[in-house]
Structure 1
Amino acid sequence: MLLCKIINRNFVVLSQVKTSTRAISAVRKLSTKNDGVENFKGKYDIIIAGGGMVGCTLACALGKNKVLSNLKILLLEGSPNKKYELKEEYSNRVVALNPSTKALMSSLDVWMHVENARLQPVRHMQVWDACSDAIISFNSTDFLDDDLAYIVENDLLQHSINTELSKVQNVHIVYGAKIADYELSKTQPDSYDCTGSKVKMSNGDTYSCQLLIGADGANSSVRKAIGAQYLAWNYDQMGVVATLHLAEETENTTAWQRFLPTGPVALLPLDSRRSSLVWSTTHEQAKQLLKLPDEQFVDSLNDALWKQYPRSSSVDACTSWVSSWLQRVGLPSGAARQLPPSVRNIAANSRAAFPLGFGHSTRYVAPGVALVGDAAHRVHPLAGQGVNLGFGDVKDLTELLANTLYSGLDLTHPTWLERYESLRQRHNVPTQLAIDALHRLYTVDSPPLVLLRSIGLQITNAIHPVKKMIMSHATT
């Protein structure tokens, strides 16, 4: 009996050693630790085309992963290397990071830089319809052990990511990179091996790699190079952003969003006296809002938040009946609502606008190529999910790639690439379609559709498991 136990134990140890040896061998085929980037003469294991928040986070995640620490990684960042300075006034471009993104940033030691600077937690959320009394609200204590989201300035988050990325030894960064062309990898006959890709720069330099990752935004050249079909359309809307000063100091941990007939207007908390505006509206109104004097702009914004819009009496009667019925059966009726803050003025020169659109790449991968972030998907900002979907790509891509190499498979083995595509599309596509459907449903003021969406919102707000399911999907 003792002999059998010893034999079994030795077999397990030998199996583990064999697996580790395969993993080390697979990595050594790609590169040798401590060789130094300069010895590669343009040859890398992974090239990330495009920086930004998603591309830089991916480079940081790959570089810090213990299994991937031997890989030589090149990040081609189109923007120059700018010096960051934290200013007293908040930037007008912010992101709402969900708990899953926070966990990713914490694992990379990025979050501590954000916390030491500034961020604002979102503990409550209230969304309501301007054409009826329908409302839905979320409280972090009802659904999570964490806050619903965190509002962080784009520039601050980018700086925090770059701070950690600069410490990663196996990642080389080329700033101001201008890519001229790609020569993509091809699968060799009767083999999973790929020939490798080449990236040709405008200055004549050429880099080669086994795995090319496109993190180059909605107009991705990498996506175009692999010939992926891209489903896209522009909404007849622009997103107007600004930094707002509130009329009164508040705890300000609530995100507010009101659906107007022309699009949603949202206030995201920054601190006790300031909020960030994201106002989705028509091109014509957006242009007018940008031209208005500050006082008139503030008046227009307060009207958007408080004004009583024309309503259908039949819709009001039906929603009132549904509210009464919900109260009778002991469910939340939405009657207990908070009032949004009033805006006093806006920060100087903080108004800007950008076009809104939808985009979905039917393929996230090709032989030796993968797409992440806006290169693979683009959504309306009404749910604050765009960048979180990209960070989800980073998390899953890094984990799958590490598991692949640890299993002894090649860097470009199709099994993990296909699994990455399947895993991310199962999460991203339903989210994109749901956000697009909400946009379309709330940009019409036809009484039958207003009634339909209002009752749907009331019932959703009343049923806790449904709200929990929505929040669970939005925060992972």
Structure 2
Amino acid sequence: MHSLTKATARIICRGLACAAEHGEHENEFYDVIISGGGMVGTAMAWSLGTDPNLEGKKILLLEAGNKNVMDKVLDTYSTRVRSISPGSATLLSGTQPYYQTLLSYALITFDKENLQDGMAYIVENDIIVAALTKQLENTSLKNQVKVQYKTRVVMYTWPKSHQVPESIPWVQVNLANGQTFQTKLLIREDGLNSMVRQEAGIPTVKWNYDQSAVVAVLHLSEPTKNNVAWQRFLPTGPIAMLPLSDTESSLVWSTSHRRAEELLQLDEESFVDAINSAFVSQWRLMSVLMPSAGLSHQLPPSVARIGPKSRVMFLLGMGHASEYVRHRVALIRDAAHRVHLLGGQGANLGFGDVACLSQVLSQAAFNGKDLG
């Protein structure tokens, strides 16, 4: 009887503990909630978590997908790559040595006296997210930045800009699993069709470019010092080849929807021929029109084949929010601005958002102001 009582007590205590834990979780309060854990959202959490002026602030990162773990670099490249500018690389340099080591393998340089450093780094999305995720697991950050994966936001409740009886002063975030959080500031990275931007009533200018992009991983015909990004402007749109290694490059071919569909349907040999023709035909034309100039230029590397199942297509568009900030909400990356991938600046604009917003919040915390 005595042992049964003790066992029952343990069950009751465990039940109470679970109930208490769940109850605390339901109404947990954070100084900053970042909704969207892609490259820019994760960088935002890491940047705020490492700022000395924000020490002691509670930060929550909500991500709909799974945790991105990468113990080693995979043998095959992903089609999702980014051209990282020196400014973005400086922002991310705190993720050393993991991220910085990977950067050194895809440096684009120019043989010009006024460009002492590399112009850009070509890095896969997954590597950036994995490097940032690894940094968030550091003991010093675990107590300040909490990350929840496989989460889905079903509703936001916005505070009134003026005092209303019985209204909450913070942003309330409701998840599909029943959890509820409140925060002084909601930072949202949720793409062109931003749910937060729409609910906040922020006007947006957007349109489609009537173009699609075909991307693929390219295997070169022979190893080369592959540190040049090639781009050609064709009648239907630009085609670009970005260096990944001495034997591989990443293709980004912007063209009409019809031509993109045709490229997807081509067999591998015909697709490779189309790529080589698109890059080389212009040089042949130049050699005819300008014999003295055409032969002296370096030619793009020849493509031998493409990576298995790496050929995909996506639509291109533009979007720009009239405001990036409202009462207790801030938009970053595509939720605030979306650009054509022609210049490779979409991700860099997002990392610029991180640098700018981190600086503003750091100064606000230093001055003792409300972060929202």
- Tell me if the contact between 1:238 and 1:282 (Cα under 8 Å) persists in the aligned partners: yes
1:13-44 per-residue CA deviation (whole Å, 9 max, x = no partner) reads xxxxxxxxxxxxxxxxxxxxxxxxx7894211
1:89 is aligned to 2:76: yes
- Out of 327, 330, 336, the residue aligned to residue 367 of structure 1 is 327
Separation (CA, whole Å) in 1 of partners of 2:224 and 2:283: 27
* Secondary structure of the structure 1 residue equivalent to 2:215: strand
- Tell me if the contact between 1:213 and 1:369 (Cα under 8 Å) persists in the aligned partners: yes
- Tell me if the contact between 2:58 and 2:145 (Cα under 8 Å) persists in the aligned partners: yes
Corresponding residue of 2:238: 264
- Out of 132, 136, 147, the residue aligned to residue 173 of structure 1 is 147
- Tell me if the contact between 1:102 and 1:111 (Cα under 8 Å) persists in the aligned partners: no
Separation (CA, whole Å) in 2 of partners of 1:50 and 1:211: 14
- Deviation at residue 158 of structure 1 after TM alignment: 1.1
Corresponding residue of 1:12: none
* Secondary structure of the structure 2 residue equivalent to 1:353: strand
Any gaps of 5 or more consecutive residues in structure 1? 1-37, 125-138, 325-332, 413-476
C-alpha RMSD over aligned residues: 2.5
Separation (CA, whole Å) in 2 of partners of 1:308 and 1:406: 56
Corresponding residue of 2:101: 116
Deviation larger for 400-409 or 51-60: 400-409
- Deviation at residue 291 of structure 1 after TM alignment: 1.7
Aligned 1:455-466 pairs, distance under 5 A: none
- Out of 158, 174, 197, the residue aligned to residue 223 of structure 1 is 197
- Out of 129, 132, 136, the residue aligned to residue 158 of structure 1 is 129
- Tell me if the contact between 1:188 and 1:195 (Cα under 8 Å) persists in the aligned partners: no
Counterpart of 1:94, as a letter, is V
- Out of 95, 116, 121, the residue aligned to residue 145 of structure 1 is 116
1:404-449 per-residue CA deviation (whole Å, 9 max, x = no partner) reads 111222212xxxxxxxxxxxxxxxxxxxxxxxxxxxxxxxxxxxxx
Higher helix share: 1
Corresponding residue of 1:182: 156
- Deviation at residue 81 of structure 1 after TM alignment: 1.9
Separation (CA, whole Å) in 1 of partners of 2:122 and 2:267: 27
- Deviation at residue 282 of structure 1 after TM alignment: 1.1
TM score, norm. by length of structure 1: 0.67
Separation (CA, whole Å) in 1 of partners of 2:306 and 2:283: 24
Aligned 1:273-352 pairs, distance under 5 A: 273-308=247-282, 337-352=297-312
Counterpart of 1:384, as a letter, is G
- Deviation at residue 204 of structure 1 after TM alignment: 2.0
Separation (CA, whole Å) in 1 of partners of 2:313 and 2:49: 35
Corresponding residue of 1:467: none
- Deviation at residue 338 of structure 1 after TM alignment: 2.1
Aligned residues: 339
Task: Give the ranges of 4+ consecutive aligned residues of structure 1 lying more than 6 Å apart after TM superposition.
Answer: none
Any gaps of 5 or more consecutive residues in structure 2? 1-23
* Secondary structure of the structure 2 residue equivalent to 1:228: coil
* Secondary structure of the structure 1 residue equivalent to 2:172: strand
- Tell me if the contact between 1:54 and 1:387 (Cα under 8 Å) persists in the aligned partners: yes
* Secondary structure of the structure 1 residue equivalent to 2:97: helix
Corresponding residue of 2:4: none
Counterpart of 1:99, as a letter, is P
Corresponding residue of 2:52: 66
Corresponding residue of 1:233: 207
